[in-house]
Structure 1
């Protein structure tokens, strides 16, 4: 059952190790602000990418999210409900302690026990019934039912030393618990400013090329580019689309791009009978929440000119979306092309739904998280206004969206959001975004509109327990088709991830959006 895409990753590590003697330091400007460095607290790309420098997983993912050996050198299914993982010999934590099966078991126990998580990792471990320790390098995991995606799910769970099983999030924030087995040792974290890392010369995958890596947090697009051009940083993530032409023309600057696992979409409050940011055009309250009507949601989707957004705002560095994952990812439905831009059809649907004069709506979205997020928000607002929905766009920092837009507040009616599939396949957005919220089962953990469709839930659960890859793929495709037939959310675009470097440095661009220092290669 082990995937065999590990050779390329191992070769890259060996090449990096060969150049380690000449490489000194790497400084990278990050676009997004991490919300935590506790690797189990908040399932968010900026957090996960930083954690991946310090902490290993049992299973790793390559740049296209194919599975490769991590701390587990091999794994196999013993039965439909039991998996065996063999840990590699010689892997150690940064304090010299060996990585053993009990450390893995402790890490899996900690995930659902972390309090107050705004985006928990529970969906990846709730199917585990028990973890058995065969010997220090062998563990057997029993699941509550068939769970063919267990190795995939475990590729997103950081492994920590067993003594930190009960550590509070504050102990990671202070650095006391930031001891992993990854390619870099943790040195310091200054919130809102930077993370400083030192090379782990004992890393089992080969020491990284850089003696030190500094990850500077620079949300402002122009500031990141200015730092790159001035030589203050060696590389930047999320190279701003509006400045790509200028970067291409600068000698010594290189760009690296790949299609992302992320979809940008509108989320709708389909739960409340009266939703707080909707009113009649005259400002009077409405008797019912129009977003509960699939015709209204479809009208909103039809009013969005995705082609114009991709061409004019994103300079074709994005793909118009009709589903949850771009073509090429496992389980992406081939039946969901981008919806046609049809303002007349949108007006007709609004009339059929009982809103011939439209209504007022506030859409909330971030202004510091995704490429051109605020511009997309404003463009969508203008498009909806043209079909009779008088929209006010309210952009705000992403951390406010997270704190107010989900449980227990659910303060918004419609949100512009993004979701990256950290498993690289379609079950991630289906069970995270659209499954009926059930935190005990790890379902709907990011379902901010509280959408609920029992028929969809049944297909998702069936897919998660289907061992045959072909059958599971068909179920995942079917689930997306069902969700989009009900316009559970309105996809807008699939993101393209872009990095820029200077001084001959190269980077292996990743679909998961992670910026990882060990995959930057210095010029010889």
Structure 2
């Protein structure tokens, strides 16, 4: 897979003090849970990566490498053998074994009240056999070449700590016992997580004796905290501050092309009475307008993506017409960025029975993605110009995420990253038909459904040859985007800034973690 590095360090940094002790990270979005299987969201994953480990880990360019699994191989087209790393200890000193993996697979598939879990990554597993305490044989329902990639999303938890544990037990720290590079010291939900180095960690010794994950949701406050020296690094660098920080010798800027697509997701779960949708008199509209492809295409055509990327995002985003950026495996070059065409939008609305448009509320987080609320406001203006009178309701992420997962919004601004670096991730988890038994569509909060696309994805994920699989995935992308499963807007450029004396390895998956920070040489 090819990856494009957007930029390197923008300013020279001076050597760090000889004894690096504490790293303070100022982050823009909170983690909603310490349960590593509760919600597949980047902040949650970032926090969990300090405490827990996975069989297969991913580097900054999302390439897999050995984690708790020392090695793996395909025994046959449907059987994989994983050899586990010997001598690994849980934070409480007990031994890690294959039985913990079996327990994890069972637990991660069905966490109560999960707003978007991890079961989809395990959907192809038919059975798991423990050959010995350090050997697993996993049988899949069909050939599944992406199994090691799938397992790079599943944090392994201990049976002895998690057998009777609820999500609240993890949040309270009672069950947050992992094999990761850091131990949990304290947790203030939505505000602060403190870690201390795990000196018995199976991997390289971490540079920081302690690390703090501190939520600073306000963009200006986050930049100010870095300049003042209150934090050592910040993520989600405000686009308005990028040029200024690039010229400031006190800090360094670290950027990489991101995998996250910012998009709009409509509600498909209702036949009528869609939340936030009405006629211009405020009366409910019969039926669900978003189920009409002409309406979805009109909404997309009314958006000027170039203006969003250049003016709202100030150059920190690239317009997109699909969920992968150029240069990544299974990006389809034949699927263009949708043209900005207000006249076509008006025509399509009229053909769909809305010559005068309708009223709409666009829900958005205001502290999750760079310029999220500003982006929503700009889109509202664009839609209003073609007759869809749009109001914006901006909410903190902690409130937005739960309500969105309960299908309380008719239209919402969202962001999803295919951090596997290929197209099947989003096609299964974000746009796949929601089916709890099949573990499909776990993060499909809009409940879009296209059985033909589901079948094509299932076919693609059984093809062992990378080239042949990519051809089928190209067709998956074309089908989903022609049907406007989601309305893509742009891909983010991921940015971090660090104080003088600290460097950071920018990650395509956008997670902020102490392990990626180092004292500058």
Count of residues paired in the alignment: 506
**How far is 1:320 from its partner?**
0.2
Partner of 2:196: 198
Residue 365 (str. 1) matches residue 364 (str. 2): yes
Supply the distance in 2 between the matched residues of 1:262 and 1:140 (Cα, whole angstroms).
33
Supply the distance in 2 between the matched residues of 1:96 and 1:406 (Cα, whole angstroms).
37
Partner of 1:168: 166
Partner of 2:305: 306
Partner of 1:8: none
Supply the distance in 2 between the matched residues of 1:427 and 1:448 (Cα, whole angstroms).
17
CA 1:253 to 1:289, structure 2 compared with 1: closer, same or farther past 3 Å? same
Do 2:267 and 2:448's aligned partners in 1 also have CA atoms closer than 8 Å? yes
Aligned residue for 1:434, secondary structure, equals coil
Residue 159 (str. 1) matches residue 156 (str. 2): yes
User: Among 50, 63, 76, which residue is 2:73 paired with?
Assistant: 76
Do 1:63 and 1:511's aligned partners in 2 also have CA atoms closer than 8 Å? yes
Partner of 1:215: 213
5 Å matches for 1:87-106? 87-106=84-103
Partner of 2:226: 228
Do 2:17 and 2:501's aligned partners in 1 also have CA atoms closer than 8 Å? no
Aligned residue for 2:53, secondary structure, equals coil
Supply the distance in 2 between the matched residues of 1:33 and 1:334 (Cα, whole angstroms).
35
Supply the distance in 2 between the matched residues of 1:280 and 1:487 (Cα, whole angstroms).
23
Do 2:27 and 2:235's aligned partners in 1 also have CA atoms closer than 8 Å? yes
Supply the distance in 1 between the matched residues of 2:497 and 2:30 (Cα, whole angstroms).
19
Supply the distance in 2 between the matched residues of 1:224 and 1:182 (Cα, whole angstroms).
27
* 163-172 vs 315-324, greater mean Cα deviation: 163-172
Supply the distance in 1 between the matched residues of 2:158 and 2:517 (Cα, whole angstroms).
28
Supply the distance in 2 between the matched residues of 1:462 and 1:257 (Cα, whole angstroms).
36
Residue 184 (str. 1) matches residue 182 (str. 2): yes
Residue 49 (str. 1) matches residue 46 (str. 2): yes
**How far is 1:76 from its partner?**
0.6
Partner of 1:350: 349
Aligned residue for 2:383, secondary structure, equals helix
Supply the distance in 2 between the matched residues of 1:108 and 1:449 (Cα, whole angstroms).
26
**How far is 1:34 from its partner?**
0.8
After superposition, the C-alpha distances for 1:70-124 in whole angstroms (9 at most, x for unaligned) are 1111111111211000112232222222322112111112112321111111101
Supply the distance in 1 between the matched residues of 2:31 and 2:355 (Cα, whole angstroms).
44
Aligned residue for 1:439, secondary structure, equals coil
After superposition, the C-alpha distances for 1:320-342 in whole angstroms (9 at most, x for unaligned) are 01001111222222222211111
Supply the distance in 1 between the matched residues of 2:169 and 2:289 (Cα, whole angstroms).
45
Do 2:331 and 2:474's aligned partners in 1 also have CA atoms closer than 8 Å? yes
After superposition, the C-alpha distances for 1:285-310 in whole angstroms (9 at most, x for unaligned) are 32232211111110110110000010
Supply the distance in 1 between the matched residues of 2:166 and 2:283 (Cα, whole angstroms).
47
Aligned residue for 1:79, secondary structure, equals coil
Supply the distance in 1 between the matched residues of 2:506 and 2:482 (Cα, whole angstroms).
34
Supply the distance in 2 between the matched residues of 1:185 and 1:89 (Cα, whole angstroms).
20
Supply the distance in 2 between the matched residues of 1:383 and 1:466 (Cα, whole angstroms).
42
User: Among 82, 86, 98, which residue is 2:83 paired with?
Assistant: 86
The runs of 5 or more residues in structure 1 that have no matched partner are 6-18
Do 2:161 and 2:177's aligned partners in 1 also have CA atoms closer than 8 Å? no
Partner of 1:289: 288
**How far is 1:511 from its partner?**
0.6
Do 1:109 and 1:165's aligned partners in 2 also have CA atoms closer than 8 Å? no
Partner of 1:374: 373
Aligned residue for 1:394, secondary structure, equals strand
5 Å matches for 1:465-484? 465-484=462-481
**How far is 1:21 from its partner?**
6.9
User: Among 106, 111, 115, which residue is 2:112 paired with?
Assistant: 115
Aligned residue for 1:440, secondary structure, equals coil
Partner of 1:9: none
What's the TM-score once normalised by structure 1's chain length?
A: 0.93
Aligned residue for 1:480, secondary structure, equals helix
Supply the distance in 2 between the matched residues of 1:411 and 1:203 (Cα, whole angstroms).
43
Do 2:162 and 2:175's aligned partners in 1 also have CA atoms closer than 8 Å? no
**How far is 1:201 from its partner?**
1.9
CA 1:332 to 1:20, structure 2 compared with 1: closer, same or farther past 3 Å? farther
Residue 124 (str. 1) matches residue 121 (str. 2): yes
Supply the distance in 2 between the matched residues of 1:403 and 1:523 (Cα, whole angstroms).
39
Aligned residue for 1:416, secondary structure, equals strand
Do 1:187 and 1:197's aligned partners in 2 also have CA atoms closer than 8 Å? yes
Supply the distance in 2 between the matched residues of 1:230 and 1:342 (Cα, whole angstroms).
46
Aligned residue for 1:457, secondary structure, equals helix
User: Among 425, 434, 448, which residue is 1:451 paired with?
Assistant: 448
Residue 247 (str. 1) matches residue 245 (str. 2): yes
What's the TM-score once normalised by structure 2's chain length?
A: 0.94
